Chains A and B, each alone.
Chain A
Amino acid sequence: MKAKLTSLLLLFPLVCSSQTPDGKEILKRMDANLTSDSRVFTSKMIIHGRRSSRTVESKTWSIGDRKAFTEYLSPPREAGTKMLKLEDALWIYSPSTDRTIQIAGHMLKQSIMGSDLSYEDMMEDPTLADQYEATVTGTEEVNGRPCWVLQLKAVKEDVTYASRKVWVDRERYIPLREELYAKSGTLLKKTELFDVKRIDGRWFPGKIVFKDMLKQGDGTEFIIESIEFNADIPEHLFTKAALR
């Protein structure tokens, strides 16, 4: 009897870890990894088009999910193009026309620099826990990592994707694969996250591959070359004057 009790006590932590956590809890832990008060990062977007691939480099400064400023660094045709996101508004500055134009309405559905990402994706609130109701539907392995499979259903009307299916790493609480669906149930986009690293105490992907399912081509690789979390960013960067 004593031996049985001892073995039960020894196995207790294992029993607990194998229990399925609440969907909301997974989302919160996932958001904690992916969101931050502020960050500055340089990235490379390799766009695999239908006939050729091209690379677009940019630097982004962001505060929470409400303010973001991006400057495109290369190729020469795109260099100097700047984007400013303030709350629900987005402006783009093109140096060739010296015009600042607000991107609104159906223009938000346009692709960013021909990639598989749309301006709407950029405008999206990255905090999933506030916008979706999550249900854990099972476990699967993605790229050799055990994952929770989460079915996300939007609780708000104005979200870009009505539902999502997310494969979340069971140990690191980082999504490794995601499928984004329209209200009709049509699969709109697929993303896969690679090269997950520990940066400043959080798990963060080094590369994300986006695939717009309604677009031909081999997807877009979004490679984060450097990232700094909770950096000091001057407030004047998030003004329209900074675009010119």
Chain B
Amino acid sequence: MIRFLIKGLLRDRQRSLLPLLVVSIGVMLTVFMHAWVTGVLGDGIEFKARFETGHVNVTTRAYAENAGQIPIDLSLEGAGEMLEILHSEYPDMTWVERTRFGGLIDVPDESGETLSQGPVTGIAIELLNENSHEKERMNLTDALVRGHFPDEPGEILISDNLFEKLGISLGQEVTLITTSMYGSMVFHNFRISGTLSFGMGALDKGTVIMDLEDARLALDMQDATAEILGFFASEYFEPETAKAMCQAFNEKYSYPEDKFSPLMQNMRSYPQIANLIDYAGLMTFIISAIFILVMSIVLWNTGLISGLRRYGEMGVRLAIGESKGHVYRSLISESVAIGLAGSVAGTLAGLLCAYILQEKGLHFDVNMDTAAVMMPSTLRAHITPVTYCIGFIPGLLSTVLGTMLSGIGIYKRKTAELFKELE
């Protein structure tokens, strides 16, 4: 029976091609739109994770309490051992050490006297480790304006704005004045290897990026790190997994009475980020729901029209003795076949478009110099498990419902009227 119906659909292109095309296009748009909205709204959160919090992070309890002040005196000691534990217990995650600190950059004149000074926020990452993906994770390659990345200890990157403001030249030695892990004022000389521009005021105002080992030397932080950030292999925050991970880790390694014991937190532990995640989730739901509703109405109509268009055919079939129920069922079966084929084709096409945008992204060269919050300049789509099946709601359900509705008419028709129509 099904083979017979499919043969009919294939041979009568008028009956199948147009509905199939409409369903496919509708489903493709739905799938792509869902991935795009999820990606764009999620990118702001992922950017925050990549730059600041990680999907999960491990700090001391005391550091977590005062995280806003970036208190490096509360850093985690025995960082190497902690990293080993994290790598062995959560091998699927990527773990990186990071240290952020505040300080001043002092630029000397020819006689070594202070020429200019400016406040900076230092970010120490694994910059000289070839196996580290920190440069890519923080999108530093695209942000490089002049010079090159540090390729030996003692070299740092500085934000381009500050570079110009302080009148520094590439390769010049400057002094970092900051506070060590033990609270004393420390001085350390660094050579400027390159400059960065992130396109947003919050970072461009005064950021210094240096290798973690250099920071350890300057800040007197041997085998210590301010934070260990963890990233999921999917590169997207997984709230439930993160929550379970934190609970298990803290039960095993964190002691409330010891403020220097490690504490694992996930992104949602930060109230501002939790609000952002909730907002993004809600917006994704609302935008997707509106789009699905619109597409459902369109595809419902497709089903409805394709049923109504075939009233003549129904009449003949009833006249030659086919039962009303059989005609109705065959109509629905055909609709299921078209809806299914259209949904599969549309989902594949939508996924392909979304995949391209997920990998390549859309770069927006928007000036965000006054922006206080960090936002990415490249927006990407994000394919989630929902993306694979969301197209079937308008593609299959709406088409079949439309057909079912139009097919009800078959039962209301009288045989006498049918003959009259045929004449």
Q: Which of B65-84 contact A (CB under 8 A)?
A: 73-74, 77
Taking a contact as CB atoms under 8 Å apart, the answer to whether A99 and B74 are in contact is no
Name the A residues within 8 Å of B175 (CB-CB): 97, 99, 101
With an 8 Å Cβ cutoff, the count of chain B residues facing the other chain is: 24
Q: Which of B101-129 contact A (CB under 8 A)?
A: 104, 106, 108, 112-114
Tell whether A110 is near chain B: CB-to-CB under 8 Å: yes
Tell whether A94 is near chain B: CB-to-CB under 8 Å: yes
Which of A28-36, A49-57, A221-229 makes up part of the contact surface? A49-57
- 8 Å CB contact of A99 from B73, B179, B180, B187: B187
Taking a contact as CB atoms under 8 Å apart, the answer to whether B184 and A111 are in contact is yes
Considering the complex, give the chain B residue whose CB is closest to the CB of A100.
B112
Q: Which of A113-127 contact B (CB under 8 A)?
A: 113-115
Considering the complex, give the chain B residue whose CB is closest to the CB of A119.
B185
Taking a contact as CB atoms under 8 Å apart, the answer to whether A99 and B106 are in contact is yes
- 8 Å CB contact of B177 from A49, A107, A114: A107
Taking a contact as CB atoms under 8 Å apart, the answer to whether B183 and A49 are in contact is yes
Name the B residues within 8 Å of A99 (CB-CB): 106, 108, 112, 175, 187, 189
Q: How far is the CA of A138 from the CA of B329 in the complex (A)?
A: 102
Taking a contact as CB atoms under 8 Å apart, the answer to whether A50 and B74 are in contact is yes
Name the A residues within 8 Å of B187 (CB-CB): 92, 94, 96-97, 99, 101
Taking a contact as CB atoms under 8 Å apart, the answer to whether A114 and B114 are in contact is no
* B-side interface mostly: strand
The smallest beta-carbon distance between A233 and chain B, in angstroms, is: 26
What are the interface flags for A46-74 relative to B under an 8 Å C-beta threshold, 1 for contact and 0 otherwise?
A: 01011100101000000000000000000
Q: Which of B153-198 contact A (CB under 8 A)?
A: 175, 177, 179-180, 182-189
Taking a contact as CB atoms under 8 Å apart, the answer to whether B189 and A107 are in contact is no
Taking a contact as CB atoms under 8 Å apart, the answer to whether B106 and A110 are in contact is no
Name the B residues within 8 Å of A112 (CB-CB): 184-185
The smallest beta-carbon distance between B74 and chain A, in angstroms, is: 7
Given contacts A97-B189, A107-B104, contact A54 B179 (CB under 8 A): no
* A-side interface mostly: loop
Taking a contact as CB atoms under 8 Å apart, the answer to whether B185 and A50 are in contact is no
Tell whether A78 is near chain B: CB-to-CB under 8 Å: yes
Considering the complex, give the chain B residue whose CB is closest to the CB of A51.
B260
Q: How far is the CA of A98 from the CA of B173 in the complex (A)?
A: 12
Q: How far is the CA of A94 from the CA of B176 in the complex (A)?
A: 12
Taking a contact as CB atoms under 8 Å apart, the answer to whether A49 and B182 are in contact is yes
Tell whether B276 is near chain A: CB-to-CB under 8 Å: no
Q: How far is the CA of A50 from the CA of B60 in the complex (A)?
A: 13
Tell whether A160 is near chain B: CB-to-CB under 8 Å: no
Taking a contact as CB atoms under 8 Å apart, the answer to whether A111 and B114 are in contact is no
Considering the complex, give the chain A residue whose CB is closest to the CB of B181.
A114
Q: How far is the CA of A112 from the CA of B186 in the complex (A)?
A: 10
Name the B residues within 8 Å of A92 (CB-CB): 185, 187
Taking a contact as CB atoms under 8 Å apart, the answer to whether A100 and B113 are in contact is yes
Considering the complex, give the chain B residue whose CB is closest to the CB of A54.
B182
Residue among B180, B183, B260 with max Cβ neighbours from chain A (10 Å): B183
Tell whether B220 is near chain A: CB-to-CB under 8 Å: yes
Given contacts A49-B73, A50-B62, A107-B104, contact A114 B189 (CB under 8 A): no
Given contacts A49-B73, A97-B175, A101-B177, contact A111 B183 (CB under 8 A): yes
- 8 Å CB contact of B188 from A97, A107, A110: A97
Name the A residues within 8 Å of B179 (CB-CB): 110-111, 114
Considering the complex, give the chain A residue whose CB is closest to the CB of B190.
A97
Taking a contact as CB atoms under 8 Å apart, the answer to whether B114 and A101 are in contact is yes
Name the B residues within 8 Å of A47 (CB-CB): 182-183
The smallest beta-carbon distance between B222 and chain A, in angstroms, is: 11
Q: Which of B262-287 contact A (CB under 8 A)?
A: none
Name the A residues within 8 Å of B104 (CB-CB): 107
Residue among A49, A77, A97, A100 with max Cβ neighbours from chain B (10 Å): A97
Taking a contact as CB atoms under 8 Å apart, the answer to whether B114 and A110 are in contact is no
Considering the complex, give the chain A residue whose CB is closest to the CB of B111.
A100
Taking a contact as CB atoms under 8 Å apart, the answer to whether B185 and A110 are in contact is yes
Q: How far is the CA of A47 from the CA of B180 in the complex (A)?
A: 14
Considering the complex, give the chain B residue whose CB is closest to the CB of A93.
B187
Name the B residues within 8 Å of A111 (CB-CB): 179, 183-185
The smallest beta-carbon distance between A24 and chain B, in angstroms, is: 37
Q: How far is the CA of A51 from the CA of B77 in the complex (A)?
A: 11
The smallest beta-carbon distance between A217 and chain B, in angstroms, is: 8
Q: How far is the CA of A110 from the CA of B136 in the complex (A)?
A: 36
Q: How far is the CA of A114 from the CA of B177 in the complex (A)?
A: 14
Q: How far is the CA of A56 from the CA of B182 in the complex (A)?
A: 12
Name the A residues within 8 Å of B183 (CB-CB): 47, 49, 111, 113-115
The smallest beta-carbon distance between A47 and chain B, in angstroms, is: 7
Q: Which of A183-205 contact B (CB under 8 A)?
A: none
Tell whether A151 is near chain B: CB-to-CB under 8 Å: no
The smallest beta-carbon distance between B112 and chain A, in angstroms, is: 6
- Other than A110-B179, A112-B185, give 6 A-B pairs with Cβ distance below 8 A: A49-B183, A56-B184, A92-B185, A99-B108, A99-B189, A111-B184
Q: Which 6 A-B pairs have the closest CB atoms?
A: A114-B183, A94-B187, A114-B184, A113-B184, A97-B187, A97-B189
What would 10 A/B residue contacts be, using CB atoms closer than 8 Å?
A: A50-B73, A78-B184, A96-B189, A101-B106, A110-B185, A112-B185, A113-B185, A114-B73, A114-B183, A114-B184
